Amino acid sequence: MPKHIIKRFAPDHSVIRDHRHLKVFGEFLHDPNLWHMNRRSVSGAFAVGLFWAFIPMPFQMIAAAATAIPARVNLPISVALVWITNPLTMPPMFYFNYLVGTWLLGDSHHHVELELSMHGVKESLAAIWQQLYFGSLVCAVLAALIGYVTIRLLWRLHILQHIRKRRELRKTRGN
């Protein structure tokens, strides 16, 4: 993967370092390995970010950062990928996670009436939380693995293409 394309879409490290919710990590954010763009760091960041994007919980960015720091993978990419789950994508993603959990656990599909109140949400969640979180965990692990392997392969293909172009250039200069 070309670094310049990833750098164009990744947030600046100063924005991440100064984020009010991420200041709890203090000096850990100054580790230079968290900002490197190499195959290991970027593929690991995709795995971390995609994993936490599929887990239904508040403050996914903090969980992604808390995982990226000890794993020493690219922090901005890990945190940015969590935003795959946003108000538009959350309902279909989490419904799919629920269906996967229901299918894997062999449960029947629960018909839940959602009442837009705290009490209604608590009751609905109480009825489906096991299927939702089990399906979310399975989807999160699969998304992390697929993201990790895909980035590694794309990065490798890009390097091979670059080497091939360099060889062709040497051959044309030699003639």
Domain ranges of the chain: 3-174
* pLDDT tens track for 125-170: 777 888 989 999 999 999 999 999 999 999 999 999 999 999 988 8
Residue with tokens 């900002």: 35
d(CA 90, CA 76): 21
Higher pLDDT, 20 or 115: 20
Tokens encoding 78: 């890990």
Strands (E), the chain: none
Q: Which residues contact 135 (CB under 8 A, 6 or more apart)?
A: 96, 97, 98, 99, 100, 101, 102, 103, 104
The answer to whether 89 and 68 are in contact (CB under 8 A) is no
The pLDDT of residue 35 is 80
* pLDDT tens track for 67-116: 999 999 998 899 999 999 998 999 889 889 999 999 998 877 666 665 55
The answer to whether 140 and 27 are in contact (CB under 8 A) is no
Q: What is the pTM of this model?
A: 0.77
Q: Which run of H or of E encompasses 9?
A: helix 3-9
CA geometry: angle 31, 156, 161, nearest 5 deg: 125
Q: Which run of H or of E encompasses 23?
A: none
Eight-class DSSP state of 120: H
- Would the pLDDT of 2 be above 60? no
Tokens encoding 67: 């995982």
Q: Which residues contact 86 (CB under 8 A, 6 or more apart)?
A: none
Going by C-alpha positions, the residue among 71, 79, 90 that lies closest to residue 31 is: 71
The pLDDT of residue 3 is 62
Going by C-alpha positions, the residue among 46, 23, 36 that lies closest to residue 72 is: 36
